[in-house]
């Protein structure tokens, strides 16, 4: 795609080519000089007005791609930092402290459930075996006793109806 500026430049290049060729025609053949200068001007014209802007646009695109890649890496690193902070908070919630009979903290860390955890007090060198187990307790809302009896009666009636069938 050539705009008006390029057509004007082509016109100036052709005019310049004709003048140079005519000026050198007493020494060298006009056609020979015209063809050589035309080839040189076409090469220079295409380099400066077609190839060089294309190369520049490619370099700009590569630079913008590098910038977007750097932005992507920065975003990924910030997301990784957020995830690490969340894990640190979760880990700090799981850490427990057990006291020793000597009055100093015995152990600070995470204990494995349903396993024997052997802890040694750093000050008095006493050994403790710590067992962690989880018990579950059902917690439910209060219900009306009449609703329970109604449900039992319905279940009994359904059972009777199935036996009659």
DSSP assignment of 125-154 equals: --EEEEE-------------HHHHHHHHHH
Return d(Cα 81, Cα 87) in angstroms, integer. Answer: 10
Provide the residue ranges of all domains of the chain, joining segments of one domain with +: 4-92, 95-131
pLDDT per residue as tens, the chain (165 positions): 444 456 666 777 777 777 777 777 777 777 777 777 777 777 777 677 666 677 777 777 777 767 777 777 888 888 888 988 998 888 888 788 888 888 877 777 788 888 888 888 888 888 888 888 777 777 776 766 777 778 888 888 888 887 776
Return d(Cα 157, Cα 164) in angstroms, integer. Answer: 11
Return d(Cα 130, Cα 13) in angstroms, integer. Answer: 94
State residue 69's pLDDT score: 74
């Amino acid at each position: 795609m050539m705009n008006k500026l390029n057509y004007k430049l082509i016109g100036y290049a052709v005019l310049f080519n004709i003048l140079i060729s005519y000026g050198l025609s007493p020494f060298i053949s006009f056609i020979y000089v015209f063809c050589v200068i035309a080839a040189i001007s076409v090469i220079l014209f295409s380099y400066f007005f077609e190839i060089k802007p294309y190369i520049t646009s490619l370099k700009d695109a590569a630079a913008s791609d590098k910038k977007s890649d750097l932005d992507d890496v920065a975003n990924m690193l910030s997301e990784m930092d957020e995830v690490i902070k969340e894990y640190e908070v979760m880990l700090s919630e799981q850490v427990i402290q057990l006291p020793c009979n000597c009055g100093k903290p015995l152990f600070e860390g995470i204990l494995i459930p349903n396993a024997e955890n052997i802890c040694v007090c750093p000050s008095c060198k006493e050994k403790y075996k710590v067992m962690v187990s989880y018990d579950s307790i059902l917690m439910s809302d209060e219900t009306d006793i009449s609703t329970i009896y109604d449900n039992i009666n319905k279940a009994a009636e359904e059972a009777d109806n199935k036996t009659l069938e």
